[in-house]
Amino acid sequence: MRRIGVIGAGQMGSGIAQVCAAGGLDVRMVDVADDVLARARETVERNLGRQVARGKMSDGDMQAAMARISAGTDYAVFGDCDLVIEAATENEEVKREVFKKLVPHLGPDTLVATNTSSISITRLAASTDRPGRFVGMHFMNPVPVMQLVELIRGIQTEQATFEAVRELAQRLGKTVSVAEDFPAFIVNRILLPMINEAVYTLYEGVGSVESIDTALKLGANHPMGPLELADFIGLDTCLAIMHVLYDGLADSKYRPCPLLVKYVEAGWLGRKTNRGFYDYGGETPVPTR
């Protein structure tokens, strides 16, 4: 593979573009607005600059990586890509619309991957004209730092597609974990119910935000407490994944906590809105409960 398309220039999309460009691949990044794309390029340049400052990359390599990233709003740029990775919002209808808009611009042999963290690969693949050349490629956040990529094949995914994308992930320096196409796959099937249970623990008054996060950091040696992690992921994303688990597996243990629902309804989505289980308006995050 030489040319990679990325749909979405948010936190995940820009991270995927960064690791692909740093890995020597030409990247075409598309989003709906030029200002989003400009911010994404600034983020990538800042992140690569940190690697230069730490001696992990030369300035020349950084400039070469930045030159390999082109950005725009027209899906026509994906016409000569070997693989297009979708990194849009974690919403099935949004993703279906993206694929509907994408497929007319693709070459017959282009592979398509989705960065979904929870949605059925089989269903998403069926919404395209190439289910055999469609695969789940779930990068962890933040993409340049986290080593894991979950690879998920839908029921229609061809072996050649799966192997090509596995090889790409390894070329990017990632470790691959293969998951079956069940709701939320491996990481979020385990992680999100833990976060949801932490919210229930807060909701039921068992502990405060600070005591819950301190308990898991020091008692289970987690680098971040579950509520701090929820704010980092985005509470809307956490809720969306819990809905996928609850709807897909029909088990009451996956019922989203009412407090998580209330925070999302209030627009308190975590770090990206400066308020979630913590208030990020000052120099130090302050618990909101």
Q: Is 222 a catalytic residue?
A: no
Cis peptide before 193 (omega within 30 of 0): no
Tokens 């993703």 found at: 95
Report how far residue 122's alpha carbon sits from residue 157's, in angstroms, rounded to the nearest whole number: 8
Which one from 86, 90, 150, 228 is the annotated catalytic residue? 150
Q: Is 138 a catalytic residue?
A: yes
Which one from 120, 138, 196, 228 is the annotated catalytic residue? 138
Q: Is 127 a catalytic residue?
A: no
Q: Is 252 a catalytic residue?
A: no
Which one from 14, 47, 115, 117 is the annotated catalytic residue? 117
What is the number of other CB atoms lying within 10 angstroms of the CB of residue 83? 24
The residues annotated with a catalytic role in the active site are: 117, 138, 150, 188
